[in-house]
Amino acid sequence: MKCAILSVGTELLMGEITDTNAVYLSRQLKELGLDVLYRYTVGDNDSRLTEVLELAFNDVDLVITTGGLGPTDDDMTKETVTEFMGDHLVEHKETVDALREIEVERRHQFSQNNFKQTFLPSRAEVFATEAGTAPGFALEKDGKIVICMPGPPREMTNMFEKRVRPYLMQFKEGVIYSRILRLFGMGESRVEYEIHDLIEKQTDPTIATYAKPCECSIRIASKRKTEEEAAEAVDEVVTQIKEIVGEYIFDENDKDLVNVVGEKLIANGISISAAESCTGGMFAEYMTSVPGISEVFERSIVTYTERAKMEELGVKQETIDKDTVVSEDVAREMVEGLYAKTGSDICVSVTGIAGPSGGTPEKPVGLMYVGCRYKGTTVVQEVLTINFSREWNRKYGTMTMLDMINKMLDGREIPTNHRLK
Amino acid sequence: MKCAILSVGTELLMGEITDTNAVYLSRQLKELGLDVLYRYTVGDNDSRLTEVLELAFNDVDLVITTGGLGPTDDDMTKETVTEFMGDHLVEHKETVDALREIEVERRHQFSQNNFKQTFLPSRAEVFATEAGTAPGFALEKDGKIVICMPGPPREMTNMFEKRVRPYLMQFKEGVIYSRILRLFGMGESRVEYEIHDLIEKQTDPTIATYAKPCECSIRIASKRKTEEEAAEAVDEVVTQIKEIVGEYIFDENDKDLVNVVGEKLIANGISISAAESCTGGMFAEYMTSVPGISEVFERSIVTYTERAKMEELGVKQETIDKDTVVSEDVAREMVEGLYAKTGSDICVSVTGIAGPSGGTPEKPVGLMYVGCRYKGTTVVQEVLTINFSREWNRKYGTMTMLDMINKMLDGREIPTNHRLK
C-alpha cells in the first residue's frame, strides 16, 4: 500500500518545532512494509490542507495526518478531512463519557472547547486516546483512507502503538522482522567500519547503523514470506555481528541500558545507591524511570560542592587537595563513604568536568572518574569523552556508570581506562 | 513572497534521518518576512519531484530544495529541476577549477562522478560551496524561482548564510518581530479560552497558543515596515495578555523556568539544596543544566525509600505512620531536615506518587506535596496533576518546585493547593 504523511501545524512551517512525528511514522510504516511516497507539511489552513489531500490521493491510498485535532479554533484538521471524505461530524458518546470520567477522577473541569473534541466523523473508526484528550480516527471512502492523529508526540506515539498499528496490520505486505542491537563504548563510524564487509554483501537482511547520543545501534531487518524465515535470516546476521563487536553490545532487542541494568537489579533484589557530582542527578533520574525500581533503588546523594562531598560522603580535604576533586581517589572515597552510609549492595559514584568551562590542560572538560563497588570490590574507571557539550558529557558519565554496573553484575572485566572507540 | 520548502531524499521517507534542514529554512525564511506555505518531502524520484514542483508553483513563487545534488546516480534534483524550468546543463568552469584546486591542496583525487557536480543549468545563478563539493543555484523562469541546495546540513547552512540569504534579501518584505510568553499552572485550552477575545480581534499582531509538556506558551508576532513599529504593536498585546493571565507567566522572552530561577539565584548569590523523592533527581538534573549554577547549587538528596528519608533528612517514623510518606507533614520535615543539614538559603522538597502504580483512592497517582523554605518561612503546596504518565508527573513535580522557588524569590503569594487551570 502506498502512503503519504501529512503534518499539520503553522508552528511547523514557522520552524518553531521539529517534526519528529514524521520521522517516527516513516519508520513505523516501513516496518509494516508500507511505502511512504510523500511527506507534506501545511499550516492550519483548510484550503491548503484540501489541496494537499487531493494531490496525495492521486498517487497513494492512505494518508496519515498528525496535528490540528486540539480544542482550539485554529485546529481544523478533523473538520477539513471530514468534509473532504464526504462525511459529517456527530457527537461520539464514548469520548464524552471518557472526558466526564477524567473530570470526576481528577477533580478538574474541562473548558467548553475541550468538548469540541468529542465530535467525530459519523463513519469513522475512532481511536480513543490514553495519553491526552484528543481522539484519533480512520475514515474511508472509495478505498482511500485518511487516518488522523493528534500532534503532541507523546499522544501520537501512544495512539499509534495501541490503536493505529493494529488497525494497519490488515494492509501489511510480506513480513518484516527486525532486531536492533544497542552498543555503548564504540561510535557509529567505527562500528560501520568494523562490520563494513557484512553490510556490503547483504541485500536481505539489511544492516544499518544509527548514531544516538552517547551510544549507537545496529538494525538488522529482513522481509520474507513468513516471520520464521525472516527471523532466521536476521538471527544469522546477528551472530556474525556479535563475533566482531559483541563486547560493546548491551542489548540485542533495543532495550535501553538503564532498563537492562534496572531489570537485573530488580530480578535479583540487589540494592543500589549513588553519589553524583557532574551528572547532577541524571543517574538517579535515569534509574527512577525504570518501573518497579523503588524495590531496590535506595538513594542518590547529589553532592555538587566540595563541602557537600565531605559532609555527605566523608571525602577528605587532603584527598581533594592532593589531586583536585576530579580524581580517582575522590571517586573512590565517594563510593566508600556512600557504602558506609547506606550499605547498598551496589554503590556507584562519579566526579568530573562536564564543561563548558572548568577544564585545565591536565584535567580537561570531559574527564570523569566513575567508581563502582560490588561484593567488596571497588573499581574506578577514568573516562575521557570526545567532548561535545555539557549535556553530552553528563549523559556519557551516566551511561558509563550504568555500563560499569552492568559489567560488574555480569562478572565481566572492566578496564581502568575508558575511551570511546 | 510565498514559498515552499522541498526536501529530497529517500532516506528521509524511510525515517533514517530527521529533516533538520526544513526546520532551519522555515525559521530563516520567516526572519526574512517570506511566507512558507508548504513543506514537501519526496524520494529521489524524478516524476514525483516534478509533480510536487507543479503543485507548489500553483500557489508559491519560490521553491527551495535541499538534497539530491550529490555525485551518485540516485541524485537527480538538479537534472529534474533544470528540465522543469526549461533549461539545460552546461559545464561550469569556476566549479571545475575549484574542484581541481581542492585536488591539489588536499592531495586527493576526486572520482569521475564528482565532476558530474560541475554541470549546472545554463541560466543559473551559481552558489559556490565552501563546505563541500556540490554547488547550489537559483534558476528563474517567468517570475518563478527554484533554489537548489545540497542536503548535508553543514553544507546547506553554510551556503544559506553565505550565498542564499544575500540573494533572498531582494525579496525581503517588512520585518517580523515576535515574543513568546511562557506560562506554568494553566493549560493551553484554558489560556486560549481566557484570551479568546484578544485572539479573535487580532490580525496583526497574531496571537497563537502552544502546549508543551507541563506548560504552555503564547506567541505574539507582528509584521510591519520597521522593527520598531512591529515591536510596539507586539508589546501592546503583551500588556493586554498580562492583564488577563499575568500571574501564570514566568517569562516574557521564551526562557525556560529553570533558567529564570537559576539566573535569579546566581545573580543574588542565593544558595539552594533539594530533597527529592518522586522526581528521582530530576530537579537536580534540571538545576545543574544551568550554566554557572555550581556557585549556588549545593546538593540534592534523592531519598527514594522511607529509610533514606529518615536517615538523611530526619523524617520521623511517626509522621510517616500518621498520614503515609506522601503527605504535607513529610514534605515539611524533609525541608526542615534538609535545612538543618545544609543551611542553604532555599531548601525545597517533594514527595508524591509518580505512578503508574502505587495510587489509592485517598492518595491517587499524580498527588504530590512540594515544600519550600526561604527566609525562615516554609510553605507546602499540595499538587494534583491531571495524571498522564509517570514521566509527566515527575516533570510536573519538578516544574512546581521551580515555580514555588520563583514565586518565593519574588515575594509572591503561594496557594496551599495547586491545581492546573
Phi, psi of B230 (to 5 degrees): -65, -45
**3-state SS assignment for residue A302:** strand
Tell me the one-letter amino acid at B19. Answer: D
- Within 8 A by CB and 6+ apart from A376, the residues are none
CB pair distance less than 8 Å for B37 and A48: yes
Query: How would you classify the pairing of strands A272-276 and A346-352?
Result: parallel
Q: Is B305 near chain A, with CB under 8 Å? A: yes
CA distance B386 to A132: 10
Render pLDDT for B214-256 as a digit per residue (tens, 0 to 9). 999 998 989 888 889 999 999 999 999 999 999 999 999 999 9
More confident residue, A342 or B203: A342
Mean pLDDT of chain A: 92
- Nearest Cα to Cα of residue A312 among A280, A342, A283: A342
E strand spans, B185-303:
206-212, 215-224, 249-251, 272-276, 297-303
Mutation pick from A5, A8, A16 vs chain B, by most beta carbons of B within 10 Å, is A16
Q: Is B39 near chain A, with CB under 8 Å? A: yes
Q: How far is CA A270 from the centre of its chain?
A: 26
Phi, psi of A172 (to 5 degrees): -55, 135
pLDDT score recorded for residue B106: 66
pTM for the model stands at 0.77
Q: How confident is the model at residue B103 (pLDDT cuts 50, 70, 90)?
A: confident
**3-state SS assignment for residue A359:** coil
Name the residue of chain A whose CA is nearest to B290's CA. A390
Across the interface, which of A13, A23, A285 has its CB nearest the CB of B39? A13
CA distance to A132, B49, B145, B417, per residue, from B85 (Å) = 47, 13, 9, 64
- Within 8 A by CB and 6+ apart from B3, the residues are B29, B34, B35, B36, B37, B60, B61, B62, B63, B64
CA atoms within 13 A on the CB side of A246: 8
Residue A135 burial class via C-beta count within 10 angstroms: exposed 0-12, middle 13-18, buried 19 and up: buried
pLDDT score recorded for residue B419: 83
- Give the mean pLDDT of A56-81: 92
A contacts of B390 (beta carbons < 8 Å): 289, 291
CA distance A89 to A137: 12
Across the interface, which of A40, A299, A303 has its CB nearest the CB of B304? A299
Across the interface, which of A7, A10, A305 has its CB nearest the CB of B298? A305
Peptide bond into B291 cis (omega under 30): no
**3-state SS assignment for residue B195:** coil
- Give the mean pLDDT of A103-132: 83
Tell me the one-letter amino acid at B112. Answer: Q
* B207, B220 contact by CB (below 8 A): yes
Q: What is the ipTM of this complex?
A: 0.75
Asked if pLDDT for residue B102 goes beyond 80, the answer is no
- Give the mean pLDDT of A223-241: 93
Name the residue of chain A whose CA is nearest to B284's CA. A281
CB pair distance less than 8 Å for B285 and A285: yes
CB pair distance less than 8 Å for B38 and A41: yes
CB pair distance less than 8 Å for A308 and B298: yes
CA distance A255 to A260: 7
* A83, A102 contact by CB (below 8 A): no
